[in-house]
Structure 1
Amino acid sequence: MSAFSAIGEEREIDQNEFTPGIEPQATWCPGCGDFGVLKALKGAMAELGKNPDEVLLVTGIGCSGKLSSYFNSYGYHSIHGRSLPVARAAKLANPDLEVVAAGGDGDGYGIGGNHFMHTARENHDMTYIVFNNEIFGLTKGQTSPTSPKGHKSKTQPHGSAKDPVRPLSMSLSAGASYVARTAAVNPNQAKEIIKEAVEHDGFAHIDFLTQCPTWNKDARQYVPYTDIQQDDEFDFDVTDRREAADAMYDAESRLYEGEVLTGRFYRDDRPSYSQEKQSTGEMPETPLAERYFDDDYEWERSYDFMDRHR
């Protein structure tokens, strides 16, 4: 019996299956937007018919990193800014596994910004959820890459002199093939966007606005919000890169003016990294992970590769 026999099993899934028995109740602060991410993720996976054995959740450091403790699936709690390389390796080794990476705005847009850029550029088939609360929460309220200019914090007591990063625009320019923004205050949209991201073949980036009532009291609660797919003012083609770029810039500018625009901004159906590598013959048809359970597979050891280059 293979360890991957659960993958592809078709049955009705209850979202409570994703609630762990050891630590079922999340301990984020009351009012934290992270609860919205957890609820939306559970609902999305259940509605997609995924069971816990089919999912790997890789998290970084920060309040968002606790997500893997409260979500019952395969999990890996990586170090700061390093969730994406771990997730990439897992997906390449076992393409049938549904891989989700998660981290905060400091984790994803700051410390792990280099991994974010190149994972998007290479279009690895995974979903990346960034908890964007415009602050470093776990370390008690320092300015983050998305904190607005002028924001006062422990590290910028006189106000930040820096313009915030534009995560949607950054994602598009790096090469992500699915880019969306949602918010914890919009749970139905959040669930539907996560479902679309998981089903997308390629790198799907979700900028998830999560309010922090403890360490970022000056920040908005991201309400009221406007769903750009439901408002006639925002009629643009999500498959057109130029139109998407303009819509993203507009949304990122309005956020700091008090207007929250959420929805799908871009989608490109180009081949994923794995598909590209398989088309050139550089990636084997049999996943590396499955070879561990194939008694007839003849392993190639490192010294075999070394001999070829002597």
Structure 2
Amino acid sequence: MSVFSAIGEEREVDQNEYTPGIEPQATWCPGCGDFGVLKALKGAMAELGRDPEEVLLVTGIGCSGKLSSYFESYGFHSIHGRSLPVARAAKLANPGLEVVAAGGDGDGYGIGGNHFVHTARENHDLTYIVFNNEIFGLTKGQTSPTSPKGHKSKTQPHGSAKDPIRPLSMALTGGASYVARTAAVNPNQAQEILVEAIQHDGFSHVDFLTQCPTWNKDAKQYVPYVDIQQNEEYDFDITDRKQAAEAMYEAEGALYDGTVLTGRFYHDENRHSYGDEKRSVGEMPETPLAERYFDEEYEWERSYDLLGPHK
């Protein structure tokens, strides 16, 4: 394989291979749900047999942004709300990479909300994990897009006057082809969902409930939780968009009433990813752009020559 193809031979991978030597121990607050995301992601990649050098992890700003420091793989620590455009570009340039983007609820649903909706609309083949703790954690406890109405914080001392956004519904409306919610307190389900999300060919959105014991004590530990796939009361077809939308709406409202519904909400296996669509109409080369850097015989085109002058 070439230096940058990121396509290796299949082998058994130990999840400890994803523990970096430089910064092996995460420094999140004791009891933080972010530890659960890190553990689930390591376990998922090992279960899938991915080598660390076959993976790119792109993070934003915030407590969640440190994930790439504690996870041994290619990593890119982007600016606030911009993990998705970086991840999209990397996947388009080198489809052989397993690309995961991560950010917090403020980072992903607030500052990066526009990128979130349009990445879902275009169905890029990557996994987006959003650490949802209903608060801005790294900047010390400001109200976030998922904070409940009435929540008091440094930025809303009299209580938030705004209803929280509905991230699952946003993902579905935008066009995501895999949508799920899990929680740090449910490690087995979390790893299973991440495995499915990473395997899925298209945009996978995982709303990952992560408790913040330091700055958001109102959210508690997100327990007890209900696995909707294991409970007959929530029986619905996750391939049916309308049924999925109704289930999401119920789950998003129930969360703030103390009922934590987790599981798979929507899965469309038939929709083509953005890269596949582009390649099918000849607007993207079959040979990944990243491979060309290592092809000494490749003659580089200039965009001017391909598009012609403006008239």
TM-score (norm 2): 0.98
Residue-by-residue CA offset, 1:30-55 (whole Å, 9 max, x unaligned): 00000000000000000000010000
The aligned residue for residue 131 of structure 1 is: 131
The aligned residue for residue 72 of structure 1 is: 72
Contact 2:177 2:266 in 1 (8 A): yes
Where does 1:213-224 land on structure 2 (aligned, <5 Å)?
A: 213-224=213-224
Contact 1:220 1:258 in 2 (8 A): no
Where does 1:211-250 land on structure 2 (aligned, <5 Å)?
A: 211-250=211-250
> Shift in Å at residue 9 of structure 1?
1.5
Where does 1:87-126 land on structure 2 (aligned, <5 Å)?
A: 87-126=87-126
Give the number of aligned pairs.
310
The amino acid across from 2:288 in the alignment is P
- Paired with 1:280 and 1:107, the residues of 2 have a C-alpha distance of 34
The aligned residue for residue 296 of structure 2 is: 295
Residue 285 (structure 2) pairs with residue 284 (structure 1): yes
The amino acid across from 1:201 in the alignment is D
Residue-by-residue CA offset, 1:99-133 (whole Å, 9 max, x unaligned): 00000000000000000000000000000000000
SS in 2 for 1:218: helix
Where does 1:39-54 land on structure 2 (aligned, <5 Å)?
A: 39-54=39-54
The aligned residue for residue 58 of structure 2 is: 58
Residue-by-residue CA offset, 1:132-161 (whole Å, 9 max, x unaligned): 000000000000000000000000000000
- Paired with 2:236 and 2:307, the residues of 1 have a C-alpha distance of 53
Contact 1:176 1:204 in 2 (8 A): yes
- Paired with 1:281 and 1:19, the residues of 2 have a C-alpha distance of 40
> Shift in Å at residue 301 of structure 1?
2.6
> Shift in Å at residue 8 of structure 1?
3.1
SS in 1 for 2:182: strand
> Shift in Å at residue 7 of structure 1?
1.6
Residue 201 (structure 2) pairs with residue 201 (structure 1): yes
Note the aligned Cα RMSD (angstroms). Answer: 1.1
Stretches of structure 1 lacking an aligned partner (at least 5 in a row):
none
Q: Which runs of 4+ in 1 moved over 2 A?
A: 301-310
Stretches of structure 2 lacking an aligned partner (at least 5 in a row):
none
What is the percent sequence identity of the aligned residues? 84
SS in 1 for 2:9: coil
SS in 1 for 2:90: helix
Contact 1:126 1:202 in 2 (8 A): yes
The amino acid across from 1:23 in the alignment is E
- Paired with 2:157 and 2:310, the residues of 1 have a C-alpha distance of 57
- Paired with 1:131 and 1:307, the residues of 2 have a C-alpha distance of 45
- Paired with 1:151 and 1:10, the residues of 2 have a C-alpha distance of 49
